[in-house]
Amino acid sequence: MFRGLTSDRKNAGGSRRSLVEGSGAAARESVFLQSYRAELAHFIAVVNETTPYDPPDDQLIVIKLMEAIYKAAEEGKEVRL
């Protein structure tokens, strides 16, 4: 969304600042849906090689940590990573 951005618009008396807001479907789109659009746009940019691919190293660490937490809870003992 464009809410909160300002733009200089010139009129007969000079220029004045005004609020720029999105309109149409983009303005009514939820933040949840916007995040999916951004993710898809990034994926397409990576496939088209206009954006470099960064492997999800941090996310893999988080998943391994969460699996260890669940395993420790099930077994009732410490789990080594």
pTM above 0.75, yes or no: no
d(CA 34, CA 26): 9
Domain total in the chain: 2
46 and 64 both lie in a single domain: no
What mean pLDDT comes out for the span 53-75? Answer: 93
55-64 pLDDT, tens digit each: 888 999 999 9
Tell me, yes or no, whether 9 and 42 share the same domain.
yes
Residues 1 and 22 reside in one and the same domain: yes
Question: Does the pLDDT of residue 47 top 90, yes or no?
Answer: yes
Q: Are 8 and 29 in a shared domain?
A: yes
**42 and 75: one domain?**
no
Distance between alpha carbon 71 and the CA centroid of its chain, in Å? 31
Do residue 7 and residue 26 come from a single domain?
Answer: yes
- Domain range holding 70? 54-81
Specify whether 22 is located in the same domain as 43.
Answer: yes
Determine the pLDDT at residue 26: 60
Q: How far apart are CA 63 and CA 29, in angstroms?
A: 30
Using an 8 Å Cβ cutoff, are 43 and 33 in contact?
no
Give residue 45's pLDDT.
Answer: 94
Are 60 and 38 contained in the same domain? no
pLDDT at 9 over 50: no
What pLDDT, on a 0 to 100 scale, did the predictor assign at position 1? 38
pLDDT confidence of residue 29: 75
How far apart are alpha carbons 74 and 31 in whole angstroms? 36
